Amino acid sequence: MIPVREIVKGRKYIKVSAPCRIDAGGTWDIKAMALPFEEISPTTVNIALSLRTYVKISPFDENYIKISSKGFETKIFSVSELSFDPPYGLFLAAVCHFGFHGLEISINSTSPIQSGLGGSSTALVALIKALSEIKKEIDGKELSKEEILYLSYHIEDAISGGSCGAQDQAAGIYGGVNKWVWRYSKPYICERFSLLDEPSQKRLSERILVLYTGKRHLSADTNKGWIRDFLSGKTQKGWIEVNEIIHRFADAIKEMDIGKAVELLNKEMEIRREITPDAFTPITEKLINQAKEMGCAARFAGAGAGGSVWAIGERENIERLGYSWQRAISEIEDARILECTIDPEGLIVYEA
């Protein structure tokens, strides 16, 4: 393993950020579901948000790795005793893959902790980009976006025991509003279809609303249950219907047909109630129902069961929904509407 201090002489730190996301059609990005059904083009639509996760790497004592993250205890690991358990296992696995030691990793996210917005995956892609910057000091080469997606997905999928998808990493790397078609039989993992240019992204920003419910979300166990039901055949029909809807939802977003997008997202949620009932909590049910009553559509972000909820609708309806949601969460600790817009950029590297 190589000590970082010797590589980055003269640099105080390396800092990278990546955006979090909201999504529709999530879970189809999990390989166990997508790979057997590639002929139907399993798809996810996601929207990168201006809620960014920042990763900073600084030199540290040789043979040690120090990691800190908002909301978690700071830890120092010896390279002879690395643990890939949560909450830092993903990041240690990435450092180990590059063969580095003697570094401090500081993670800071502007999204709430475990909010279902993909914060851990965005931290991972930002870290891999930062480690790639260090690698460039050694051999003059840095990882491409495609290589970062490939590596970050496989690290996270391996550490999670096979229940991880790639949509969070993809949104963090590329930013913007995208439709992803998952091709796990191919070396490139997925096809990306950018749905909106930057002016249209600004228009869509005025027509979405994002709220954190105050309850932390952990996706691994939820996803494993959904995968078991899918592989058994119990829920396959419903998931295939969801996939058809999300392809049409992507077309509606591309055309900025908000009324059609609302209709389709509401249809996705009707099916989700049948195939993923554990994703709904009393407060998310209330928020989703309020959105529908006001001419909008809302869904949980990621795997639900807490975390965040987001809505889409015409601008005046979204404004009214904001007041309604604010009243609904007024007595829930930590719950809040998240001030954010669509982020057109993915990974950003900052000068030391």
Q: Is the pTM of this model over 0.85?
A: yes
Provide the CB-side half-sphere exposure for 131 (13 A, CA).
27
Backbone angles phi, psi at 69, to 5 degrees: -150, 140
Backbone angles phi, psi at 254, to 5 degrees: -60, -35
Q: Average the pLDDT over 64-80 and give the result.
A: 94
Domain count for the chain, please give it.
2
Query: Is 186 found in the same domain as 210?
Result: no
Q: Using alpha carbons only, what angle is made at residue 52 by residues 167 and 336, rounded to the nearest 5 degrees?
A: 95
Query: Is 20 found in the same domain as 148?
Result: yes
Answer whether residue 217 shows pLDDT above 90.
Answer: no
- Contact at 8 Å (CB) between 22 and 177? no
Query: Is 64 found in the same domain as 185?
Result: yes
Query: Is 232 found in the same domain as 122?
Result: no
Return d(Cα 59, Cα 5) in angstroms, integer: 5
User: Which CATH number does the domain housing residue 312 bear?
Assistant: 3.30.70.890
- Please count the other Cβ atoms lying within 10 Å of the Cβ belonging to residue 22: 30
3-state DSSP call for residue 209?
A: strand
Query: Is 187 found in the same domain as 94?
Result: yes
Query: Is 133 found in the same domain as 84?
Result: yes
Query: Is 9 found in the same domain as 35?
Result: yes
The residues near 221 (Cβ < 8 Å, ≥ 6 apart) are none
- Contact at 8 Å (CB) between 302 and 218? no
Q: What range defines the domain where residue 228 resides?
A: 198-337
Specify the range with the lowest mean pLDDT, choosing from 115-119, 277-281, 301-305. 301-305
pLDDT of residue 161: 83
Q: Which two tokens stand for residue 205?
A: 């920003």
Question: What confidence tier does 219 reach under pLDDT thresholds 50, 70, 90?
Answer: low
pLDDT of residue 165: 93
Query: Is 167 found in the same domain as 65?
Result: yes
Return d(Cα 39, Cα 72) in angstroms, integer: 42
